[in-house]
Amino acid sequence: MKTTDCKPTLTDSQVLDFCRNGYLYLEGVVDDEVNLKATDYCNAEEHYEPSGILQEDWFIEGVILNEHASGAIRSLLGANFHLPVLMSNHRTKGLLDGFSGWHVDGNSMFSPAVNYLQVFYYPQDTPVELGPTAVLPGSHLVHNRSRFMSHLNGIRGAVSLTSV
């Protein structure tokens, strides 16, 4: 497993906000040229796990090791955090069968300890009409099961992670 070390970029207040809310939102930190390449790559790749993009130098440098993103991850996980070995592409047309409404993402952990992160990257504009991921601040501290959430449509306080 590859690891990396970089300088932490979050302030103590930002780390505490992350610990309380369970998410951090960085907007506009990846160069437009890299975003366009990533979008083109995903458009050409039909598999829902285009992990080959993790072998592309421009993607590693522009996204994975982006100083803002990797610095935030370093601030939360500490030195020599592991780089991803899997990439998923959730860009779809319409709702996927079995994925309607709220759910708990795979590999989610319910704990105040920060030992694992799920990192989402939107290389293209993703307004609310395209159905971006939404998060519920503080839900990482409440053990919950997906089957109890799927009937929910909207939850007060939810944050839609749009990108435009």
Q: Does the pLDDT value for residue 5 go beyond 90? A: no
Which residues contact residue 70 at a Cβ distance below 8 angstroms, ignoring those fewer than 6 apart? 4, 6, 64
Tell me the whole-structure pTM to 2 decimals.
0.83
Give the span between the Cα atoms of 58 and 38, in whole angstroms: 9
At residue 144, the 3 state secondary structure works out as coil
Residue 32 has a CB neighbour count (10 Å cut-off) of: 9
For 56-101, how does the pLDDT look when each residue is reduced to its tens digit (9 = 90+)? Answer: 999 999 999 999 999 999 999 999 999 999 998 877 655 555 555 6
Work out the angle between the directed axes of helices 67-77 and 12-21 (0-180°, nearest 10).
Answer: 70
Inter-CA distances, 126 with 28, 39, 73, Å: 12, 12, 23
Spatial contact of 144 and 26, defined as CB atoms under 8 Å apart: no
Give the span between the Cα atoms of 47 and 50, in whole angstroms: 6
Give the span between the Cα atoms of 28 and 68, in whole angstroms: 10
* Confidence at residue 18, expressed as pLDDT on a 0 to 100 scale: 94
For 25-35, how does the pLDDT look when each residue is reduced to its tens digit (9 = 90+)? Answer: 999 999 999 99
User: What's the pLDDT band for 107 if we cut at 50, 70, 90?
Assistant: low
